[in-house]
Amino acid sequence: MARDAIRIESLRKTYGGQGKAPPKEALTGVDLAVPEGSVFGLLGPNGAGKSTLINILAGLVTKTSGKVTIWGFDQDVNPRQSRASIGVMPQELNLDPFFTPRGALEVQAGLYGVPKAQRRSDEILEMVGLSDKAEAYARTLSGGMRRRLLLAKALVHHPHVLVLDEPTAGVDIELREMLWENVRRLNRERGMTVILTTHYLKEAEEMCDEIAILHQGAKVAQDSTRNLLGQLDARTLVIDPEEGGDATPDAQGVETERREDGTLALTYHANDTSAEEVLDAVRRAGIRIRDVRTEQPDLEDVFLSLTRGAHG
């Protein structure tokens, strides 16, 4: 059985309120295990607590309580080793404007105590496509280039676990491809465990072996991507009936809802039932179709259904 690259137990974080703001409970007791060698997705809407969790892993935010083990090292018992095991690309573009990319990597390597002979600054700059900007000041770099540099910084100490917080939010296609290409290579060729947060379901679907969903500071689901997506196969055909709209189509596994605007919403599971079968049932019921459109669940629906499930 694979080891856990990261193990999180009963993790809580309450931010102290500033001024009149009340304290904010950002993580309410999260348990999470990330298998070694996986590409692991942390999904959740804005404010779910993803960055808080990531920043606790990175040592940037102090947890309120709970236990965090990185690569077998308890963060509180072996802070140095646990920090050395993980590289984090933060969501915020927090770069010192007076460093060049090469300079920033050398400083970072120094912070982590990487001996000169083991530094691979040029190789890493090459990998993220910043070789020709190696001596440019960070403040002259575009947003995309700064992100590349943040990824490079996360890699200087050759961590076992790479964490990327919303790496593709607001980036162009070229940069997104570069990021995913690098992530796949690091995972496949070096066996690096990768954790990424995103609120793009599609992206998680493409990249991740396993997914955990955070909602309001709590984990509401964790499963292999395949199993999780299996739960998300609900589809809805919305039919505007021309005639026979009072009839109810009868088909197994199809739920019919009559909406106020006079349309019929037929919800089914694409894994079990085809749209063709649903439409057949509609015709059998004597309903003539004036218009039809489809609705697919988005991530928001998934959260809703999961949180409903979680609270009964």
Kindly list the residues in this chain that would bind ligand ADP in the complex (CB under 6 A): 15, 24, 26, 44, 46-52
Q: Are 94 and 147 in contact (CB under 8 A)?
A: no
Task: State the nearest-atom distance from the C-beta of 94 to Mg ion, in Å.
Answer: 14
CB nearer to Mg ion: pick between 42 and 306: 42
- By DSSP bridging, strand 218-224 and strand 210-215 are antiparallel
Other beta carbons less than 10 A from residue 118's beta carbon: 11
Query: Which C-beta is closer to ligand ADP: that of 48 or that of 282?
Result: 48
- The residue nearest Mg ion at its CB is 51
**Taking CB within 5 to 8 Å according to partner kind, which of ligand ADP, Mg ion, none is near residue 69?**
none
Q: Which is nearer to Mg ion, 28 or 231 (CB)?
A: 28
Query: Which does residue 211 touch among ligand ADP, Mg ion, none (CB within 5 to 8 A, set by kind)?
Result: none
H or E stretch at 14? strand 4-15
Strand 210-215 with 39-43, pairing:
parallel
Quick one: what does residue 180 bind among ligand ADP, Mg ion, none, with the CB cut-off 5 to 8 Å set by partner type? none
Q: Closest separation between CB of residue 50 and ligand ADP, Å? A: 3
Treating both helix axes as pointing N-terminal to C-terminal, what angle do 143-155 and 101-111 enclose, rounded to 10 degrees? 30
Q: Which does 83 bind (CB under 5 to 8 A by kind): Mg ion, ligand ADP, none?
A: none
- Give the integer Cα–Cα distance in Å for 108 and 152: 10
Pick 169 or 310: Cβ nearer ligand ADP: 169
Q: Which residues bind Mg ion (CB under 5 A)?
A: 50-51, 91
* Partner from Mg ion, ligand ADP, none contacting 44, C-beta within 5 to 8 A by type: ligand ADP
CB of 45 to Mg ion, least distance (A): 10
Closest CA to 164 of 196, 135, 203: 196
User: Residue 69 belongs to what H/E stretch?
Assistant: strand 65-70
Residue 159, C-beta contacts closer than 8 angstroms, at least 6 positions apart: 84, 85, 86, 87, 192
**What CA–CA distance (Å, rounded) separates 210 from 224?**
4
Binds 225: which of Mg ion, ligand ADP, none (CB < 5-8 Å by kind): none
**For Mg ion, which is the closer residue by CB, 201 or 279?**
201
Q: How far is the CB of 16 from Mg ion (least distance, A)?
A: 19
Kindly tell me which of 11 and 239 has the beta carbon lying closer to ligand ADP.
Answer: 11
Smallest separation, CB 4 to Mg ion (Å): 23
Which of Mg ion, ligand ADP, none has residue 26 at its interface (CB below 5 to 8 Å by kind)? ligand ADP
Beta carbon of residue 203, minimum distance to Mg ion (angstroms, whole number): 15
Q: Which does 52 bind (CB under 5 to 8 A by kind): Mg ion, ligand ADP, none?
A: ligand ADP
- Say how far apart CA 276 and CA 290 lie, in whole Å: 16
Distance CA 227, CA 292 (A): 30
| DSSP annotation string for 80-91 | HHHHHTEEEE-S
CB of 203 to ligand ADP, least distance (A): 15
Q: Which is nearer to Mg ion, 51 or 273 (CB)?
A: 51
Rounded to whole angstroms, the Cα distance separating 164 from 179 reads 10
Strand ranges across the sheet with 24-35: 24-35, 4-15, 65-70, 73-74
Q: Which is nearer to ligand ADP, 46 or 252 (CB)?
A: 46
Cβ 287 to ligand ADP, closest distance in Å?
A: 44
